[in-house]
């Protein structure tokens, strides 16, 4: 999905007349995976982690948890290191990808700390064993954590080079039996072109997986889209900057693009 490199907007407060929260049994999605890019943690910084942005993200995820939705997260590492950029520095691609996986572990630990500050029990499960700071990834253990109401953060991607965290998100969503994959990004849905550079870009309310692949819309990479399509997991693309938007989307409201079969 086209995204602008422009300065990240300030989080927007949710409207005062928001509709009351539904009972969890009425929600269309009861177990979800939320994919956050590493760049989302930058806020208005050029590098690293913006504490104010982390606080904003933690509030968003807390609001979803309070709905009774079972939540897991995949966080990218692009705010610290991107494997593909390592090739420009002469680093072997596989080594660069492993470095990027380590960056996702840093972000996962930061996200865990911020969520626990908000009273949300959180577990980090890493695809690369790192027992001092995280649990190893075991599918049944992750499911059990979510059943107990804990937020699970999957770190280190798939544990393999040449796969993005987008693909890791689709893989983990499939393994966890998630009802939806939330792609939380800088804009409020999928556009035909970068809406900042192209004011006349068309915004889509709904798309089919095959349309995303055929038109090469930059939502997530092709393996991630194909995996979600194969396992019939809808992808909901929404803005991370509007306060309360995640909970609105999971209640079937708000501005987002639905991608489905």
DSSP type of residue 24: G
CATH of the domain at 139: 3.40.1160.10
DSSP type of residue 145: H
DSSP type of residue 178: -
pLDDT in tens, 122-147: 999 999 999 999 999 999 999 999 99
Domain encompassing residue 242: 24-260
Please report whether residue 167 resides in a domain. yes
Measure the CA–CA gap between 226 and 166, rounded to whole angstroms.
11
Q: How confident is the model at residue 231 (pLDDT cuts 50, 70, 90)?
A: very high
Contacts of residue 221, defined as CB under 8 A and 6 or more positions apart, other chains included, come to 164, 166, 167
Whole-prediction pTM value? 0.88
pLDDT in tens, 39-95: 889 888 889 999 999 999 999 999 999 889 999 999 999 999 876 676 678 899 999
Chain length of the chain: 261
Please report whether residue 29 resides in a domain. yes
Dihedral angle sign, alpha carbons of residues 3, 188, 261, 146 = positive
Residue 21, judged by CB atoms within 10 A of its CB (0-12, 13-18, 19+), counts as: middle
Please report whether residue 103 resides in a domain. yes
- Gyration radius of the chain's alpha carbons: 17
Number of structural domains, the chain? 1
Query: In this predicted structure, which of 1-5, 25-29, 33-37, 119-123 has the lowest mean pLDDT?
Result: 1-5
The pLDDT score that the predictor gives to residue 162 is: 94
């Amino acid at each position: 999905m086209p995204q602008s490199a422009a300065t990240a907007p300030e989080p927007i407060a949710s409207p005062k007349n928001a509709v009351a929260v539904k009972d969890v049994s009425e929600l269309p999605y009861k177990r979800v995976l939320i994919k956050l890019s590493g760049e989302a943690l930058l806020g208005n910084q050029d590098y690293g982690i913006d504490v104010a942005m982390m606080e904003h993200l933690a509030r968003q995820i807390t609001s979803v948890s309070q709905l009774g939705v079972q939540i897991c997260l995949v966080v990218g590492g692009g705010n610290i290191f991107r494997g593909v950029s390592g090739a420009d520095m002469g680093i072997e691609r596989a080594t660069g990808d492993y470095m990027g996986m380590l960056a996702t572990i840093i972000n996962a630990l930061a996200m865990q700390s911020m969520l626990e500050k908000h009273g949300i029990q959180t577990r980090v499960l890493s695809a690369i064993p790192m027992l001092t700071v995280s649990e190893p990834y075991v599918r049944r253990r992750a499911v059990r954590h979510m059943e107990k109401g804990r937020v699970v953060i999957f770190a280190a991607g798939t544990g393999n080079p040449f796969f993005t965290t987008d693909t890791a998100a689709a893989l983990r969503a499939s393994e966890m039996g998630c009802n939806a994959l939330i792609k939380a990004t800088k804009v409020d849905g999928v556009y035909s072109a970068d809406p900042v550079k192209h004011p006349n870009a068309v915004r889509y309310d709904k798309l089919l997986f095959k349309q995303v692949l055929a038109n090469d819309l930059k939502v997530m990479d092709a393996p991630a889209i194909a995996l979600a399509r194969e396992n019939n997991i809808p992808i909901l693309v929404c803005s991370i900057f509007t306060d309360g938007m995640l909970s609105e989307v999971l209640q079937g409201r708000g501005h987002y693009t639905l991608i489905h079969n």
